[in-house]
């Protein structure tokens, strides 16, 4: 894959960082992205051979389109787009404000749409390409306090299937990964903010059939498969990386 270029949005931490590093390990030239973490992004780019870092606010249409254009200008092509950037602002259907709803959809749905639309312009010329959207198992119903987030991931899943149906004529593949409960630094911070305490993880893993939460590496490996030629006939698929709970939920 040494001649392939992959753009991973939201790639300076967590799932995005793991995905970018794994793609780089498999030979892809990586374009890193974040909205704010310029220092981290530049350091990561220096670590990954041939990588570049790009800062952009994906809620801004021109910035989102400009991100893809900047990657193509820097690397000469774009073969893979991993739409990973997203937010999961908490709130039930009663509590969620219209402003929060719009913010979540702007980043989780509109941003990927804009990046996909711009990326397709370049992929069509090559008559090949892979778009990997990172969703969530919350797309199916979701936790009560993730109303906007769950709805946004459901919308992204429909966009994935709709786009796959259309773009197959250009041999551009579109697939989605729906992770379950994943242990990231931000997840730990969220649980502490919610008052779960430092021991939340020990209680949580007792509900997991494999004795652990998902790790960013699990999602990264799935993304590499969908990005590579090993999945050249796979499109419109949704890969659920869910570990269904067993027994009663942990009591925190």
Task: Provide the annotated active-site residues.
Answer: 149
Coil, strand, or helix at residue 171? coil
CB contact at 8 A, 183 and 213: yes
The strand order across the sheet containing 52-55 reads: 52-55, 29-34, 5-8, 80-83, 129-134, 172-179, 238-241
Lookup result for tokens 């390990």: 25
Q: How far apart are CA 34 and CA 228, in angstroms?
A: 23
CB contact at 8 A, 224 and 22: yes
Lookup result for tokens 């870092």: 53
The beta-strand segments (E) located in 36-141 are: 52-55, 80-83, 129-134
């Amino acid at each position: 894959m040494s001649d392939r270029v992959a753009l991973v949005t939201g790639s300076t931490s967590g799932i995005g960082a793991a995905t970018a590093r794994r793609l780089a390990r498999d030979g892809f030239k990586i374009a890193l992205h974040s909205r704010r973490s310029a220092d981290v992004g530049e350091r990561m780019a220096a670590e990954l051979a041939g990588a570049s870092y790009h800062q952009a606010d994906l809620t801004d249409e021109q910035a989102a389109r400009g991100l893809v254009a900047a990657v193509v200008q820097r690397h000469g092509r774009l073969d893979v787009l991993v739409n990973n950037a997203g937010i999961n602002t908490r709130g039930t259907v009663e509590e969620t404000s219209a402003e929060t709803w719009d913010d979540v959809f702007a980043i989780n749905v509109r941003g990927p749409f804009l990046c996909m639309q711009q990326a397709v312009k370049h992929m069509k010329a090559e008559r090949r390409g892979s778009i990997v959207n990172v969703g969530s198992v919350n797309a199916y119903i979701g936790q009560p306090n993730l109303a906007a987030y769950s709805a946004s991931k459901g919308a992204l899943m429909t966009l994935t299937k709709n786009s796959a149906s259309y773009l197959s004529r250009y041999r551009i593949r579109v697939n989605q990964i729906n992770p379950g409960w994943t242990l990231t630094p931000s997840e730990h911070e969220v649980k502490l903010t919610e008052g779960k305490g430092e021991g939340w993880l020990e209680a949580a893993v007792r509900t997991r059939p494999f004795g652990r939460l998902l790790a960013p590496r699990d999602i990264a490996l799935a993304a590499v498969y969908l990005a590579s030629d090993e999945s050249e006939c796979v499109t419109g698929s949704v890969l659920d990386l869910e570990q269904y709970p067993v027994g009663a939920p942990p009591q925190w």
